[in-house]
Chains A and B, each alone.
Chain A
Amino acid sequence: AQSVTQLGSHLSVSEGALVLLRCNYSSSVPPYLFWYVQYPNQGLQLLLKYTTGATLVKGINGFEAEFKKSETSFHLTKPSAHMSDAAEYFCAVNRGYGGSQGNLIFGKGTKLSVKP
């Protein structure tokens, strides 16, 4: 069965500090992994995704994530936080093989705050 665990429901960092959002997954099929961001009162926007190939994935807004199969992890990082990064971040995994089951299973989200 597929599942996603995000460590920490809240994270506060200072502007310019490293951002590290943790995600661990469980999957009975080769995982497709995603990070989405949700700004207040908006829908979700895709940050980046891993399907196959290179395990270090670069996304929008300077974010990147590394797929580590041995650790069943897909942590999201950004070297230097900006105030505009304050939002809620969701990790997700596909339900079925290659997305064949269509929908994604989401973690509970981590709300990122950035202090000036």
Chain B
Amino acid sequence: EAGVTQSPTHLIKTRGQQVTLRCSPISGHTSVYWYQQALGLGLQFLLWYDEGEERNRGNFPPRFSGRQFPNYSSELNVNALELEDSALYLCASSAGYTGELFFGEGSRLTVL
């Protein structure tokens, strides 16, 4: 069974640009979570989607947004990129409210 898949794996952008990251959850999982892992800051919760709806949002500005599609895959969009947005963006999925998250390998974003 395929795990959580993310694309792209690496990308480089410049300040002010926009980026879209994609995530496909494990088959049968309806919840998708996005986390930002920046150097020295640990894992910061960004967004939680379940059944196509945004259920919870972390303490990030509105230029971080996303959506979940009917097939439960998800996109994370970041507008007006800033240098401090450079990080590993991790997507995770879960089946129901078990608390256990299954992570993808991440998309590493570098903003120059």
Contact = CB atoms under 8 A, between A and B. Distances in A.
A42 B105 contact: yes
Range for the number of chain A residues in contact with chain B: 20 to 34
B64 to A, nearest CB: 15
Interface string A78-110: 000000000000100011001111111111110
Interface in A25-63: 32, 34, 36, 41-46, 49, 51
B99 A46 contact: no
B105 A105 contact: no
Interface in B92-108: 92, 94, 97-106
Decide if the interface of chain B is mainly helix, strand, loop or mixed. strand
A46 B56 contact: no
Interface in B28-82: 31, 33, 35, 41-43, 45, 48, 50, 55-56, 58
A95 B98 CA distance: 12
B103 A99 contact: no
Given A43-B4, A101-B56, A106 B48 contact: no
Given A44-B90, A102-B31, A34 B43 contact: no
Contacts of A108: 41-42
A100 B94 CA distance: 12
Contacts of A101: 56
Contacts of B103: 36, 43-45
Contacts of A94: 99
A24 to B, nearest CB: 15
Nearest to B58: A103
11 contacts: A43-B90, A43-B103, A44-B43, A95-B56, A98-B97, A99-B100, A102-B50, A102-B94, A103-B48, A103-B101, A104-B101
